[in-house]
Amino acid sequence: MSKRSKSGSGTESYYKLAMVLLVIIVGLFAVDYMGIYDVPFFSTGPKQIDPGPGPGPTRDTPCTYDTAIVTSAVAAWDSLDISTARTVGTNINVLWFRYSGGWIKLASGNAADLTLGKNDNNNVYLAAQFPSSPAHFVDYQKILAMNPHLSWYGYMDITGDDIEEFIFKVNVAGSTYASATGKWNMPLVNIYLLTYDSSFAIPSGGQPADVTAVGEATTTKYAKWYAEIATEKQAAAIYKVTLVANTTDISKVTLKKMNIPGIGYLDGSSFSQDVLSDQIKWTYTISNNVLYGCNLIERPVNSPNEHQFTTALEFNLATNDVIQMTLAIYQLTAGEASVSDTDSVIYSEAG
């Protein structure tokens, strides 16, 4: 009887211990499942995953929010002398726009507050506008090269003043948030300007002498025209070049090629040819009488100043023929007015 009682008592203790362990396991399971504490050896129930930094301006962009204020940052420089600053609002006007079914002006200048929304997709538009008496060209190609957050949008009139502006699309996704003001600071936009040279001309040394004794055989002659920019760190804007022969007989003279500074040698077939009532006219159009697309000829410091328009002409003259060839270089002022410089060379069959 004593042995039987001892065995029964051991079995009872075993079951009690098993029940205690079961309660502990069920408790741990419940704690893990409810997410109160992550028990390492359980893999059940919803786990609490670290979401990382909470949402907020430290990692978002302005247009993450319904409305955000972005403070503009723009500076202007001389394109040929980066140590020389130009003044925004004096040498060049900067206007800020957003587009929503039409152009909406936000502000102007540097350190201006621009109100943007989600639909702006972190983009705002900068219009570079000339003052009333401009003295500079917008070096839009350098602006694009030096500002990776800018892209070209167009040359158009968005202010309604009947004057086109250079329009750039500015991406402000890289703006930094200033918690002290609750505003965003956009990445700096650098504007580059070239000073207009009003004294661009064909000097006496760039005016070839008249040519005699051309003869009656087919021959090629070179007119070594060149122009000069009067002052270092200035530029001229070429939009068209023409060559005129005072004859209507296309068999007597042919434009073979011409060098245009900044473009290179062009075959005569690159020019349009018009036979008029008293002349043959060859024309090469660089831009349609506007600054956008024109050929900006520059004079950096300590650089050669002979901007060559060397021209190859093929002649088939008859006895006593005399033909005058006239080069015309058409430029635009900083205010987009047209001016030109010309020079003529006379070619005579006889000596």
Q: Which of 82, 95, 84, 100 is nearest to 142 (CA)?
A: 82
pLDDT value at position 351?
83
Q: Between 53 and 259, where is the model more confident?
A: 259
Q: Are residues 212 and 344 in the same domain?
A: yes
Give the structural domain span for 94: 62-194
Q: Are residues 17 and 127 in the same domain?
A: no
Q: Does a structural domain hold residue 199?
A: no
pLDDT value at position 25?
67
Q: Does a structural domain hold residue 237?
A: yes
Contact 129, 93 (CB under 8 A): yes
Q: Is 16 a residue whose pLDDT tops 90?
A: no
pTM: 0.81
Q: Does a structural domain hold residue 342?
A: yes
Q: Are residues 188 and 293 in the same domain?
A: no
Contact 120, 104 (CB under 8 A): no
Q: Are residues 45 and 68 in the same domain?
A: no
| CB-count burial class (<10 Å; 0-12, 13-18, 19+) for 315 | buried
Q: Are residues 152 and 172 in the same domain?
A: yes
User: What mean pLDDT comes out for the span 93-117?
Assistant: 97
pLDDT averaged over every residue in the chain: 89
Tokens of 137: 């060209």
Strand 189-196 vs strand 74-78: parallel, antiparallel, or unpaired? parallel
Q: Are residues 72 and 131 in the same domain?
A: yes
Tokens of 235: 């530029």
Q: Are residues 167 and 222 in the same domain?
A: no
Q: Does a structural domain hold residue 77?
A: yes
User: What mean pLDDT comes out for the span 50-62?
Assistant: 54
* pLDDT confidence bin for 50, thresholds 50/70/90: very low
Contact 70, 116 (CB under 8 A): yes
Q: Does a structural domain hold residue 19?
A: yes
Q: How many domains does the chain have?
A: 3
Residue 203 has what DSSP assignment? Answer: -
User: What mean pLDDT comes out for the span 11-35?
Assistant: 60
Q: Does a structural domain hold residue 54?
A: no
pLDDT value at position 41?
52
